[in-house]
Amino acid sequence: MSNLQPVRGTHDLLPEESRCHRQVEAIAAATAARYGFGEIITPIFEFTEVFSRTLGDTSDVVTKEMYTFTDRSGDSLTLRPEGTAGVARAFISNGLAQSLPLKLFYRGPMFRHERPQKGRLRQFHQVGIELLGVESPLADVEVIALAARLLNELGLGDKVTLELNSLGDADSRAAYRAALTDYLLQYRADLSEDSRNRLERNPLRVLDSKDEGDRQIVANAPPIAASLSPAAAGFFADVTGGLDELGIPFVVNPRLVRGLDYYSHTAFEFTTTALGAQGTVLAGGRYDELIAQMGGPRTPGIGWAAGVERLAMLTGTAPTLVRPVAVVPMGDPLVALAVAERLRRAGLTAEMAFSGNLKKRMARAVKSNARCAVILGEEEATRGAVTLRDLDDGSQREVALADLEQQVSALLAGERAG
């Protein structure tokens, strides 16, 4: 048993790192709520079809990375590799078409069997939002503004760059697919096997290839901007104009694409150079055809997702814990436990010093960064009193047990006021 280790690509979040994660999630939830987004919690696993139909059978996620298994009923189930498909399925399953527009926030673990990377594990965590039912480019601007506000709230505004592109409407993508195919066919023999297969079925996926040879070929591919219809170009101009109006800086990246057919118009990423090669910390786009593709009514949508691990790495230190009150029993430990419980019921953080002599217990109290110690000696107990020691300046005084909550609160309030 001593050799047991976590599965490759998984990671134990010990208390300090867990606080970093919880801080990111809490700030994300609070920021989303400020924009009117309510939280949705979908199952960690879905029928495999939810993802294979939406992510496409040529995607790396579906062909190589999904954790798929057959349950005892013979159903094929998959641990969710991303959040949007589950939200879209929930929209259809719960008949929410009459509740549009919908603004939804989610958070939780995702699972992909890929090579572990910096800030991306096989079990990783995301926060994300989806705005359903609004076709206006103003929705794109608001969703991106929420992302920018979250990154600013996390103190990362000066560490990230917003990259933006348009994928156009259906006519634009059809024209671009033809132009891209004509270009790639010239280099078909030089493409990787995966890209040659994708060229036949979905040439836009070649643009996502990680193969270095493919990347060199793709670098000179025609940009999608040349294929945009007037309507699509106007939509993108409204998005960029809205971002300018809100003072949100961006750069247009003509190579930023999404290979899935249901994506349209705006695609965006917030990237950083602070994490090495794995530079994307938040990514999103518009997906007006997704819900229809899943069998629901045509419902426009746009959203984004961000990796909690990467955001936590960028934010750095964990939030400071509330300094506790150390309860040190030198008499009956049950009496001390009752005192600790009284303090907790008063809204204070109290920790029991369970064993050792007074010196050792006080040393542990100092090590725990306790603000003060409540020492319960037998002699003081006969007078209905305890000793309250200030662990910052070493002073101490006897206080009535009946006034303990008030006295401790006053000491802590003095520190906060200072």
Alpha-carbon distance of 340 to 293, in angstroms, equals 58
Question: What does the pLDDT read at residue 417?
Answer: 41
How far apart are alpha carbons 126 and 128 in whole angstroms?
A: 6
The per-residue pLDDT for 349 is 93
Tens of pLDDT, residues 70-91: 999 999 999 999 999 999 999 9
Regarding beta strands 38-39 and 68-70, do their DSSP bridges make them parallel or antiparallel, or are they unpaired?
unpaired
Same domain, 402 and 338: yes
113 touches 65 (CB < 8 A) = yes
Residue 344 φ then ψ, to 5°: -65, -40
Cα-Cα-Cα-Cα dihedral sign, residues 121, 122, 123, 126: positive
Ranking 46-60, 288-302, 384-398 by mean pLDDT, the lowest is 46-60
Whether 186 is covered by a domain: the verdict is no
| Per-residue pLDDT tens digits for 264-282 | 999 999 999 887 765 899 9
Confidence band, pLDDT 50/70/90 cuts, at residue 418: very low
The CATH code of the domain that includes 248 is 3.30.930.10
What sign results for the dihedral spanned by CA atoms 20, 26, 30, 35? positive
**Measuring CA to CA, which residue among 139, 137, 138, 113 is closest to residue 124?**
113
The verdict on 311 and 370 lying in the same domain is no
74 lies in the same domain as 121? yes
Max CA-CA distance within the chain?
94
**CATH assignment at residue 357:** 3.40.50.800
CB 387 within 8 A of CB 330: no
At 197, list the tokens.
């297969």
* Selected residue with higher pLDDT from 396 and 414: 396
Which residue from 372, 352, 375 is spatially nearest to 412, judged by alpha carbons? Answer: 372
Rounded Cα–Cα distance for residues 329 and 418 (Å): 30
Quote the percentage of the chain above a pLDDT of 70.
94
Is 202 inside any structural domain? Answer: no
Same-domain check for residues 165 and 58: yes
Q: Which of 267, 295, 315 is the last residue of a domain?
A: 315
CA dist., res. 158 & res. 82, Å (int) = 27
Per-residue tokens: 234: 């106007």
- In one letter, which amino acid is 353? A
Q: Residue 52: what pLDDT? A: 84
* Cβ(370)–Cβ(323) below 8 Å: yes
Same domain for 297 and 346, yes or no, is no
Same domain, 37 and 118: yes
- pTM for this model (two decimals): 0.86
Same domain assignment for residues 162 and 258? yes
pLDDT band at 406 (very low <50, low <70, confident <90, very high): very high
Task: Please answer whether residues 308 and 156 qualify as being in contact, where contact means their C-beta atoms are separated by less than 8 angstroms.
Answer: no
Q: Rounded distance, CA 151 to CA 130, Å?
A: 17
Among 270, 286, 315, the domain boundary falls at 315
- Give residue 386's domain range: 325-417
What residues does 166 pair with on adjacent strands?
Answer: 266
The pLDDT of residue 121 is: 86
Q: Please count the structural domains in the chain.
A: 2
Higher pLDDT, 52 or 161: 161
pLDDT given for residue 63 in this prediction: 59
- Residue 190 identity (one-letter amino acid): D
Average pLDDT over residues 306-329: 89
Identify whether 101 is preceded by a cis peptide bond (ω within 30 of 0). yes
pLDDT grade for 157, boundaries at 50, 70 and 90: very high
Flag whether 8 is in a domain.
no
